[in-house]
């Protein structure tokens, strides 16, 4: 973990683009609440293969209009160099200088891979087109990306992506702090030198958490599952337990030198605000 201690901790919050008027109003209220905490930036996800893409631009534009720093996610699978060039140019015009660059996953049934195969190609393309204009964040997987044959192979691929020009990484969420510490140590041994910020998923809803975790390969430890199953539909007990578990995880990560936290807010402010206060983070 020593290599991470030299980086100044940064705190950020992630949203997804709302699809309805009600969702937009709710996100506006969430941004208002979270902005009081003073995070470094707000990021907004981007659907691979055509979904929610306009929504990302609109959400990012709204965040900027409110006077906050926004980092759009960009996925490359199924896309073309021309489309990415246009997107980068529209974000430059908006004054954006931070981007989360990802491969994305093609929607089921879609077989159009487009002109990019992996995220490192997107990172290299952004650097080629825009030089040092963008600070580029990429994804990292302390518990291994689901498609990778082994963690070692995944770390080798992660290094290619970092060497293509990434400035920092945000991890997939995890509940096992040792997975993160070991991953960071392995990266250090592979001469990967950039901040690797833990992605933090609040625990608020058992079914939703199960479904997300199955999709992205994040492990929910058995002792957490057992308690969540016991709480069944008792949402307030799930929230209280989740807050305690995730606060403890975040505190341990920061105490050991993690260079900040990236909160997956799911467009709600309550859990992130509560975690922020429990951790005594200052603005
Ligand atoms: P890559 O880095 O390309 O890796 C994908 C897989 O390919 C890995 O298994 C890797 O080991 C392998 N690989 C990489 N390079 C090579 C190579 N040269 N040869 C062989 N194998 C290789 N998805 C969205 O659709 N929209 C979002 O906004 C979004 N935001 C995210 C934010 C964060 C912080 C994270 C952690 C994930 C996000 N995702 C998002 C999910 C992400 O798109 C998926 O996890 C996707 O499957 C992989 O994306 P990547 O950028 O990590 O891909």
- CATH number, domain of 131, equals 3.20.20.220
Distance CA 73, CA 22 (A): 23
Strand partners of residue 73: 100
**Share above pLDDT 90 across residues of the chain, in percent, rounded to a whole number:** 88
Angle formed by the axes of helices 81-93 and 119-130, to 10°? 50
Domain membership flag for residue 283 = no
Distance from residue 36's CA to the centre of ligand 1 (Å)? 31
Please give the tally of structural domains in the chain: 1
Ligand 1 atom 21 nearest Cα: 157
Ligand 1 atom nearest 141 alpha carbon: 36
Structure tokens at 133: 């204009």
Domain membership flag for residue 80 = yes
Ligand 1 atom 23 nearest Cα: 104
- pLDDT band at 180, cuts 50/70/90? very high
Active-site positions read: 14
Domain membership flag for residue 33 = yes
pLDDT score, position 54: 86
Ligand 1 atom nearest 172 alpha carbon: 36
Residue of 14, 41, 145 to test ligand 1 pocket, by largest number of atoms within 8 Å of CB: 145
Distance CA 104, CA 158 (A): 15
Distance from residue 102's CA to the centre of ligand 1 (Å)? 6
Q: Which of 27-36, 100-109, 158-167, 199-208 has the lowest mean pLDDT?
A: 100-109
- Residues touching ligand 1 (Cβ under 6 Å) are 45-48, 73, 75, 100, 102-105, 118-120, 139, 145, 147-148, 154, 157, 160-161, 170, 172, 199
Domain membership flag for residue 151 = yes
Domain membership flag for residue 1 = no
Distance CA 200, CA 15 (A): 13
Task: Assign 20 to helix, strand or coil.
Answer: coil
Distance CA 175, CA 177 (A): 6
Ligand 1 atom 46 nearest Cα: 104
Domain membership flag for residue 51 = yes
Domain membership flag for residue 3 = no
pLDDT score, position 41: 98
Rounded to the nearest integer, the mean pLDDT of the chain is 94
Domain membership flag for residue 2 = no
Among candidates 181, 159, 185, which has minimal Cα distance to 254? Answer: 181
pLDDT score, position 53: 81
Structure tokens at 62: 């709204």
Ligand 1 atom nearest 146 alpha carbon: 9
């Amino acid at each position: 973990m020593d290599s991470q201690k030299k980086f100044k901790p940064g705190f950020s919050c992630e949203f997804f683009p709302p699809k309805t008027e009600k969702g937009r109003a709710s996100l506006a209220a969430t941004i208002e609440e979270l902005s009081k905490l003073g995070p470094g930036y707000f990021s907004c996800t981007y659907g691979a293969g055509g979904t929610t893409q306009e929504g990302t631009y609109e959400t990012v534009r709204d965040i900027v209009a409110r006077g906050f720093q926004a980092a759009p996610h960009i996925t490359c699978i199924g896309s073309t160099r021309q489309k990415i060039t246009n997107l980068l140019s529209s974000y430059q015009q908006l004054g954006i200088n931070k981007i989360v660059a990802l491969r994305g996953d093609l929607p089921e049934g879609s077989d159009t891979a487009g002109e990019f195969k992996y995220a490192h190609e997107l990172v290299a393309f952004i650097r080629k087109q825009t030089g040092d204009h963008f600070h580029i964040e990429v994804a990292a997987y302390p518990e291994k990306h689901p498609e990778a044959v082994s963690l070692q192979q995944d770390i080798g691929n992660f290094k290619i992506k970092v060497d293509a020009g990434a400035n920092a990484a945000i991890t997939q969420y995890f509940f096992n702090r040792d997975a993160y510490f070991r991953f960071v140590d392995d990266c250090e041994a592979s001469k990967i030198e950039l901040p690797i910020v833990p992605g933090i998923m609040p625990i608020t809803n058992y079914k939703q958490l199960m479904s997300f975790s199955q999709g992205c390969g994040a492990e929910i430890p058995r002792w957490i599952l057992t308690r969540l199953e016991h709480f069944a539909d008792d949402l307030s007990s799930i929230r209280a337990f989740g807050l305690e578990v995730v606060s403890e995880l975040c505190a341990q990560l920061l105490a050991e030198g993690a260079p900040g936290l990236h909160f997956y807010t799911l467009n709600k402010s309550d859990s992130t605000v509560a975690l922020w206060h429990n951790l005594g983070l200052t603005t």
